[in-house]
Structure 1
Amino acid sequence: MAGDRPVGVPASAHQLWDDGVNADSARPGDLWILSWDDEVLGVALIAAARDDFALAWPVTLPGEASFAPGLVIENSPLGIPVTLWPTRETGIGLHLLDRSLGRLLDANAIRPLAFALEDGEEPAFPAAPGSAWDEDNRAADRALVEHWSGLCFHLAGGENEMRLDSEKVLAAGGSSKSTAKLLGLPPQQLRPIWVGDAEIDHEQLVALAEDLGVDEVTLLQPDPLAGVVSRLAAPRFKRAIKARMAATRLNEAAVRGAARSEYTLAARDDANTADAIDRKLRDAIARAGRDQP
């Protein structure tokens, strides 16, 4: 992981940067490295954590952007001062959380700090010298805002897939046989689409809806594995996903998609507990891309 270390990370913190600390969930106040496709996208403080996303305050390291309204935090887990940007808060998907670097702020300090900045009061930490309004800083500030705003819309894949509801096709006068003929698919290829395990693409959906004389949306169902896809985004699976990427040379979206497909093939576990689902997900990740040469 040495290739993704920013120049501002001192040698004393190289191991921490490379390995992180033992944390499998996001906690307010912790400092996290964000990544996608094994590329570091930034460092952020977790301001709040939800089941499917986190509120993040960007953090920049020595050598990167640092000016007001950024706040200087002298003591960081990396052993260097960092600049915290509470006013640049953004929501991010949990799938971007790679590894924790440890605690940057006490969780109880986050809300008072945010309220102080909103109310124009003096924050508990000093502002970085200079200002976003300074001519030399405007471009850097704009780039910072654009980058983190973009991360807000970053998706892991699978969130908006279209799943056919075969009961609705039958109710509209269709059948599996007529659908297979219309779409030009043999039964073995239609089956995962018919039962909702695989996505139906837009052209197929349009053709089927036109043939049945109904609106496209009336033939769809919510993804039956939406909860699984959401759970797979948790940071506790990131290390295994990255290892599978290295083993298969697939990108991250492909590994996550393959893991979802492998999950549907796993043996049924009647326990259906969180631990059982996590075991199945880890097994599915380990099998993802198994047909790759």
Structure 2
Amino acid sequence: MVVDRPSGIPESAYRVWDEGAGSVAPHPGDLWVLSWDAEVVGLALIASARDDFVLVWPVTLHDENSFAPGRIVDHSPLGVPVTLWPTRETGIGIHLLDRSLGRLLESEEVRSVMRALDGDDAESPLAAAPGTARDADNVAADRRLVEYWTELCFHTGGVEAEGTLDSSQVQAEGGSPRWAASALGLTPQQLRPIWDGVVPATNEQLAALAEGLNVDEAALLRPDPLADVVTRLASPTFKSAIKDKMTSTGWSEAEIRRSVRTEYTLAARDDAATTDAIDRKLRDAISRVGRDARRGDDRVE
């Protein structure tokens, strides 16, 4: 695993490692630092980008394991050769993208590697690393590489709301806010964020409501109304601000992101659905997280 700051890179690369190359949008061919909870969890080349995830090729530094099917890139933004693993391509959530270090491969080089992988009789522009994954010394390293990046593939960030209550359906089944509060043993103030979809209902709360109304739990759920907002919050545009908020509060990244979601819904309604409007509300929400002493610890567990 890559550590922050990695040993072996020259001092001339310290600044680009620490500060990045300035881009907050993932582009094919760019080398990115991945992080979670303010810790570096890997290096990756962007193979292609979508709205909520990117396809990446893992990258390891010159002093880490290197063998075929890895490919050697002699020149990198870090001033040292790196090993690229295009055959280990995986999808990861954009919430793991921390900072771009700059261009590792040109777009045409990325396409050439892809064509070679697809068996189109195209020759890869990159030389293979010496040795193979079948060599005795490399078997365990190859397994660890695959397992580690598989874990990153399934890393969700813990912000999605899978138990968003459909309060209109509760009412259609004969329930009411007063009834729901009583069934869950909550005060009206405690019920409000669950009733409004600000925070998800727990499995136990859903089970209690479904049992009380004699319906399936699934019948009381609706799609996350903030799915687009959560996706936008995952953008590396907000990563630095989230890390700063983690430092000032001592909270985890997941706690910060969930609290931003809550603060976003509590803000004054703005019918504008433009990216600029959403970004403005998200920045305001991030700034409010952890500030209101009257609400005590406003983490959303």
SS in structure 2 at match of 1:47: strand
Opposite residue 84 of structure 2, the aligned amino acid is L
Does residue 52 of structure 1 match 2:52? yes
Partner of 2:278: 277
Please list, as runs of the form range in 1=range in 2, the aligned pairs for 1:93-242 lying within 5 A after superposition: 93-119=93-119, 122-242=123-243
Deviation at 1:271, TM superposition (A): 2.8
Structure 2: gaps of 5 or more residues: none
Deviation at 1:118, TM superposition (A): 3.1
Name the Cα RMSD after superposition. Answer: 1.4
Q: Is the 1:245–1:252 Cα contact (8 Å) retained in structure 2?
A: yes
SS in structure 1 at match of 2:272: coil
Deviation at 1:150, TM superposition (A): 0.8
SS in structure 1 at match of 2:127: coil
Following TM superposition, the consecutive aligned residue runs of length 4 or more in structure 1 with deviations greater than 6 angstroms are none
Query: Bigger CA drift: 158-167 or 181-190?
Result: 158-167
Deviation at 1:178, TM superposition (A): 1.1
Partner of 1:4: 4
Q: Deviation digits for residues 185-242 of structure 1, max 9, x if unmatched?
A: 1111111111211211111110110111100000111111111111100011100000
Count of matched residue pairs = 291
Q: Is the 2:13–2:78 Cα contact (8 Å) retained in structure 1?
A: yes
Query: Bigger CA drift: 3-12 or 69-78?
Result: 3-12
Give distance in 2, aligned partners of 1:241 and 1:108.
Answer: 34
Give distance in 1, aligned partners of 2:289 and 2:253.
Answer: 11
Give distance in 2, aligned partners of 1:117 and 1:222.
Answer: 38
Opposite residue 34 of structure 1, the aligned amino acid is L
Q: Deviation digits for residues 121-149 of structure 1, max 9, x if unmatched?
A: 53111111111111011111111111111
Opposite residue 251 of structure 2, the aligned amino acid is L
Give distance in 2, aligned partners of 1:118 and 1:70.
Answer: 16
Q: Is the 1:66–1:129 Cα contact (8 Å) retained in structure 2?
A: yes
Give distance in 1, aligned partners of 2:180 and 2:141.
Answer: 54
Opposite residue 96 of structure 1, the aligned amino acid is L
Give distance in 1, aligned partners of 2:166 and 2:271.
Answer: 24
Q: Is the 1:90–1:148 Cα contact (8 Å) retained in structure 2?
A: yes
Q: Is the 1:250–1:289 Cα contact (8 Å) retained in structure 2?
A: no
Structure 1: gaps of 5 or more residues: none
Give distance in 2, aligned partners of 1:158 and 1:17.
Answer: 28
SS in structure 1 at match of 2:128: coil
Opposite residue 16 of structure 1, the aligned amino acid is V
Could you state the TM-score of these two structures normalised by the residue count of structure 1? 0.96
Deviation at 1:84, TM superposition (A): 0.5
Could you state the TM-score of these two structures normalised by the residue count of structure 2? 0.93
Q: Deviation digits for residues 28-56 of structure 1, max 9, x if unmatched?
A: 11000000001111100000000000000
Q: Is the 2:32–2:45 Cα contact (8 Å) retained in structure 1?
A: yes
Give distance in 2, aligned partners of 1:289 and 1:123.
Answer: 51
Q: Is the 2:112–2:123 Cα contact (8 Å) retained in structure 1?
A: no
Q: Is the 1:30–1:101 Cα contact (8 Å) retained in structure 2?
A: yes
Q: Identity, % of aligned pairs?
A: 62
Give distance in 1, aligned partners of 2:214 and 2:170.
Answer: 11
